[in-house]
Chains A and B, each alone.
Chain A
């Protein structure tokens, strides 16, 4: 194995690790948000049914928030992956 291919290998491992960290944290956030909501739906219906105003209950606020947060998490990931991560992959390859 040449020196440059060893450096490349190390770079690869670092890249894979950074991707795993970001992907796993965002997945965990999504799972926590969704199952937090479903947990309330399954086990604490009265809490979700709290009326905040006429025509507005807690679940009608939280439900759309789950939808919006899904999109925002996707936005964060795509921004990170398509700019920072791809640039790092490119520079790792160039250095090698």
Chain B
């Protein structure tokens, strides 16, 4: 890239870093307890949390990946956009109240509430860490590749820079700093996306249909029609949909955000705001993708490298000049930084709150010990993320993220839903379901063309003959029902005596929350 462009990007990027580091410094002074470290003390407002949720969720794949897919394939990119949105209503309808009223920092709090703490939390930690690792790899790889493309910094160094920045946010500022990093990033992303969208539409009398017509005229009407290049098989499409919808509803870093607001009312509102913001953003990305198709051209985008990821930045350059190009690149970078910070924090919550405090120390760790463990865990996750990021160079971003969703959908979602709604769910059922969901998803992925063809480079014709071959690229359609079936079968085989009482107690807490006046002091989490 031209050095002039790089300088503008670098200037924008340094401005973002300076602002977020100032926020971290401010937040660090307030982060003295686990309440503030993991949940920002419950002091975030619904609006702030709505933006932060959007910031946590809108990854590099949402802007660069989807725009790239739309630019080279047309409509099909939207299948991912829609899938990434429809999980949000499910969180709102089924998950948010139990999560907020029963849990403290993680979704394992809810799954383990009326079951045996140690085995359930250990299993939930395995499921959560698997999801986070997959997703972190996807984010790290995207980041490394993009920075290499933009600034000419070697891939490994790019990953190390991102790892260091996220380490600083989480280590010192905890949830408070991470939340504000997300808010700033979401605002920049929405503003950049909206401006880019407007600059494109200006050329088409502000009418997206004219833009689509121009695309169809140049590249054929099939760019406006569903094709089979992005999602190949019929059942694979359904499986992808399942993974995106129910995986979103069980992403640990998203679920963790319901604890940052004051009460369940604010938690509901923040999910509503986030749904609106994310939906609007995905509609804009669709226009951006077609804009890049017509104005830049799919060939030019492919030639720029990065597997199509340069569509949005190149479009920004074409319609807004070098300064806007620099801005969009910096925004994309900020996006990745913010997402990895959110993921890291939820990984830390799992390692510290679930594994250390509740499994190893059986709930008896002091505040200062927990904070110390949280900070060590942050360093461990940052190092692992950087190492994995370097090892997995060159994978397709949107696709890897999709795999993380499949694991979330099969490992976390069934146990969460059954813990909330099924009286006879048992400890053994929960553990079996989470393990089968996690291992099942990973094994199915390993035996599918995703790993065998795309990663190992075998020919599809060869492995299609093998007895172990799994034709689905997205495992959710098999792994999720399997996880549910195992949960139900094992629970029925291991009945417990006082399920009636503990279930009624949990239902009551779902309605009333920890502040239930009829039993004040019974809850483990104090109000405020």
- Which A positions have Cβ atoms within 8 angstroms of B? 5, 8, 12, 15-16, 19, 22-24, 26-27, 30-31, 33-35, 37-39, 41-43, 45, 48-49, 51, 53-57, 59-60, 63-64, 66-68, 70-71, 73-75, 77-78, 81-82, 86, 89, 93, 96
Number of A-B contacts (CB under 8 A): 151
User: Quick check: A27 and B511 within 8 Å, CB to CB?
Assistant: no
A48 to B245: give the CA distance in the assembly, Å.
21
Q: Is B78 an interface residue (CB 8 A)?
A: yes
Q: Is B86 an interface residue (CB 8 A)?
A: yes
User: Quick check: B265 and A66 within 8 Å, CB to CB?
Assistant: no
Of the listed stretches B160-168, B234-242, B376-384, chain A binds: B234-242
The chain A residue with its CB closest to the CB of B215 is A55
Q: Is B194 an interface residue (CB 8 A)?
A: no
Chain A, interface SS category? helix
User: Quick check: B93 and A30 within 8 Å, CB to CB?
Assistant: yes
User: Quick check: A67 and B224 within 8 Å, CB to CB?
Assistant: no
Instruction: Write out the residue numbers on chain A whose beta carbons fall within 8 Å of the beta carbon of B210.
Output: 55
Q: A63-B78, A63-B82 are in contact. Are A74 and B88 (CB under 8 A)?
A: yes
Of the listed stretches B19-27, B252-260, B276-284, B297-305, chain A binds: B276-284
A82 to chain B, nearest CB (A): 5
B:76-108 near A, CB below 8 Å: 78-79, 81-83, 85-86, 88-90, 92-94, 97
Instruction: Write out the residue numbers on chain A whose beta carbons fall within 8 Å of the beta carbon of B265.
Output: 81-82, 86
Instruction: Write out the residue numbers on chain A whose beta carbons fall within 8 Å of the beta carbon of B502.
Output: none
Q: Is B466 an interface residue (CB 8 A)?
A: no
Q: Is B269 an interface residue (CB 8 A)?
A: yes
Chain B 204-218, CB-CB to A under 8 Å as 1, else 0, gives 000001111111100
Chain B 166-194, CB-CB to A under 8 Å as 1, else 0, gives 00000000000000000000000000000
Instruction: Write out the residue numbers on chain B whose beta carbons fall within 8 Å of the beta carbon of A64.
Output: 283, 286
Instruction: Write out the residue numbers on chain B whose beta carbons fall within 8 Å of the beta carbon of A77.
Output: 89, 92-93, 268
User: Quick check: B268 and A42 within 8 Å, CB to CB?
Assistant: no
Interface size on B, residues (CB 8 A): 55
User: Quick check: A16 and B511 within 8 Å, CB to CB?
Assistant: yes
Instruction: Write out the residue numbers on chain A whose beta carbons fall within 8 Å of the beta carbon of B512.
Output: 89, 93
A19 to B214: give the CA distance in the assembly, Å.
48
Q: A15-B511, A35-B241, A38-B237 are in contact. Are A59 and B75 (CB under 8 A)?
A: yes
Instruction: Write out the residue numbers on chain B whose beta carbons fall within 8 Å of the beta carbon of A51.
Output: 221, 224-225
Instruction: Write out the residue numbers on chain B whose beta carbons fall within 8 Å of the beta carbon of A63.
Output: 75, 78, 81-82, 286
A15 to B222: give the CA distance in the assembly, Å.
51
A32 to chain B, nearest CB (A): 11
User: Quick check: B237 and A67 within 8 Å, CB to CB?
Assistant: no
Q: Can you name 10 A-B pairs with beta carbons within 8 Å?
A: A27-B94, A48-B226, A53-B209, A57-B224, A66-B82, A66-B85, A66-B86, A67-B85, A78-B92, A89-B512
User: Quick check: B216 and A34 within 8 Å, CB to CB?
Assistant: no
B34 to chain A, nearest CB (A): 29
User: Quick check: A55 and B216 within 8 Å, CB to CB?
Assistant: yes
User: Quick check: A45 and B89 within 8 Å, CB to CB?
Assistant: no
From A23, A24, A54, A67, give the contact of B81 (CB < 8 A): A67
B279 to chain A, nearest CB (A): 5
A32 to B216: give the CA distance in the assembly, Å.
30
**Nearest 6 pairs between A and B by C-beta?**
A55-B213, A49-B225, A42-B237, A55-B212, A38-B241, A23-B93
User: Quick check: A43 and B82 within 8 Å, CB to CB?
Assistant: no
B204 to chain A, nearest CB (A): 9
The chain B residue with its CB closest to the CB of A65 is B82
A92 to B350: give the CA distance in the assembly, Å.
36
